[in-house]
Amino acid sequence: MSNTSFILRGDLCWSTSPDQVEAMRNGYLVSVDGVSRGVFQEVPEEYTHLPVADCAGKLIVPGLTDLHVHAPQYAFRGLGMDLELLEWLDTVTFPEEARYAGLDYARAAYRKFVEDLRRGPNTRACIFATLHTPATVLLMDLLEESGLITLVGKVNMDRGSPDNLREESADSSARETLAWLESSADRYTRTGAILTPRFIPSCTDELMTRLGELQREYRLPVQSHLSENAGEVAWVRELCPNSKFYGDAYDQFGLFGGDAPTIMAHCVLSGEAEQELMKVRGVYIAHCPASNMNLSSGVAPAGKYLREGQRIGLGSDIAGGTHGSIFRAMSDAIQASKLRWRLQDQSIKPLTTAEAFYMGTVGGGSFFGKVGSFEPGYELDAVILDDGRLSTPRELTLTQRLERTIYLSEDRDVVGKFVQGRRVF
C-alpha cells in the first residue's frame, strides 16, 4: 500500500458543476494512489484496510488553483496601487523585476513567495518568473521542494521595456529559452515549464515566430496576458495593424490555444470575435478580479464566460492583485461581478458562490488534468481548514461554513494540505 492511499475524514465540500456544490458532514474521502475514489458516508468494505486521517470537525475542500501569478512581484504587493497598468509596469514592476538578475535577491524573495504559497490554500499554480534563466531555475527548485505542483515560465521580452529588463534580440531570447528548457528538463517531477511571452507589446514578431516553433517542437503550454487595459489594447492595435484583434496577434504565431494548451490572463476588454476564437481554441481565461480593480482596468465578464462554456479559472495576478489565496479571488470575483452588473451591464447576473468556488477549484484545476474536485478519478488535492475561529453561537450548515471560508478565511486557518495524495503538511 502506498502512502498516497488513505482515507480523510471530515466535513467535505466540492464542486460537481458550476452551479452545484456537494457537501457531506462527517464523510470519508478515499484516496488510492493519489486519486480520489469518491466521498462516502461510510467506508466501503473494499477500503476498510486503508489508514484513516481523522479531521473530524474540520472543513475539507479540493486544493485551489492560481491560474496566473507573478512570483517576482510578491515582494512589492500593495505598492504602486495608484497607477494604471502601463505606468505601473514602467515605474514599479520592471525596475523590481530587473533585480532578479542577482541570485541573492532572487533567492531571498522567491523563498518567501514559495513558503507563503505552500502554507496557503492553493495547491497548483501557473507562475511567471522573470526573463532571467538562473533565477527562474532557482524558483523552480524551490517550488519542487515545496511539494506543490506548478508550471513556471521564464519570461520572454525583447521590446517595450528598459535595457536592464529586455533581451538583446529575438534570437538571444529564443536561445536563452532553449537553454532554460534544457536545464530544467528531467530535473523535476512536480514542476513544469510553460512558455511565457510576457504580452504582445514585449515581444517582436520575430520572437513570437521563434516561440511558436519552440512551442510546437517541445509541445509546451503557453501563458500570457490579453485585453487587460484600454491603453494596452490600443498599443497592440498600433503594433499589429494586420491583426483583426489582440488575440489574433497571438494566433498568427500559433500561440492561441488549439494544440498549445494556453492561458490568457484578464480578458477584460475582449470583443465578441476574440471571445469566439478563445472558445473555438479552448483558451483558458485567468480571471484576476483584484488586479483588474487595483489597476483600474475594469471588470471582466466572468459570469458570461463561465455560462457560455469558456474555460475559466481564477488568478491572484500578484502584484496587480495583493493576496495569494484563491479564496480571496473567489470573493473578489463575486463582489466585482455585482458592481459590474449594477453599474455596467444588467444582462450578466452576478457570480454566485457556487460559480466562484467552481472557478477556483475545477475551473483552474482542469488546466492540470482531472484536478479540483473529489469526484472519483480526480487527483487528490485537498485542503484541510480549521474554521473554528469563525464559529458562531448558532449552528451553520456545511455550505454556509464554506461561504464564510470564502469570504473570511486566512492562510493560518489551513491546517493540512495534500497534493496528488502526498501530504505537504
- Considering only 232, 317, 381, 387, the residue that binds Fe ion (CB under 5 A) is 317
Closest distance to ligand GUN from the beta carbon of 33 (Å): 38
The CA distance from 377 to 380, in Å, is: 9
Does position 97 interact with Fe ion (CB under 5 A)? The reply is no
Residues that bind ligand GUN (CB under 6 A): 70, 85, 89, 93, 198-199, 225, 228, 291, 317, 320
Q: Toward ligand GUN, which CB reaches closer, 228 or 355? A: 228
Q: 188 or 235, CB closer to ligand GUN? A: 235
Which residue's CB is nearer to ligand GUN, number 229 or number 275? Answer: 229
Cis omega (within 30 of 0) on the bond before 193? no
* Cell (9 digits) for 195: 512558455
Given Fe ion, ligand GUN, none, residue 341, with its beta carbon under 5 to 8 Å by kind, binds: none
Choose among ligand GUN, Fe ion, none what residue 198 binds, the Cβ cut-off being 5 to 8 Å by kind: ligand GUN
Instruction: Annotate 295-307 with DSSP letters as a single string.
Output: TT-----HHHHHH
Q: Which is nearer to ligand GUN, 204 or 409 (CB)?
A: 204
Residue 291: CA count within 13 A, CB half-sphere: 29
The item of ligand GUN, Fe ion, none sharing an interface with residue 294, based on CB under 5 to 8 Å by kind, is none
Computed on alpha carbons and rounded to an integer, the radius of gyration of the chain in Å comes to 21
Strands (DSSP E) found in 256-310: 262-266, 284-287
To ligand GUN, the closest distance from the beta carbon of 70 in angstroms equals 5
409, three cell numbers: 478565511
Separation of alpha carbons 409 and 423, rounded Å: 21
Give me the helix-helix angle, 133-146 and 170-184, nearest 10°: 30
Q: Binds 93, which of ligand GUN, Fe ion, none (CB < 5 to 8 A, cut-off by type)?
A: ligand GUN
Strand order in the sheet with 191-193: 64-70, 122-128, 149-153, 191-193
Closest-by-Cβ residue to Fe ion is 317
Residue 425 DSSP one-character state: -
Shortest reach from residue 227's CB to ligand GUN, in Å = 11
If binding is defined by CB under 5 A, does position 232 make contact with Fe ion? no
Which part of the chain contacts Fe ion (CB under 5 A), choosing from 202-210, 313-321, 341-349, 406-414?
A: 313-321
Residue 403 binding result from Fe ion, ligand GUN, none, given CB thresholds of 5 to 8 Å by partner type: none
For residue 195, what is the DSSP state? B
Give residue 396's identity as a one-letter amino acid code.
Answer: L
Residues that bind Fe ion (CB under 5 A): 265, 317
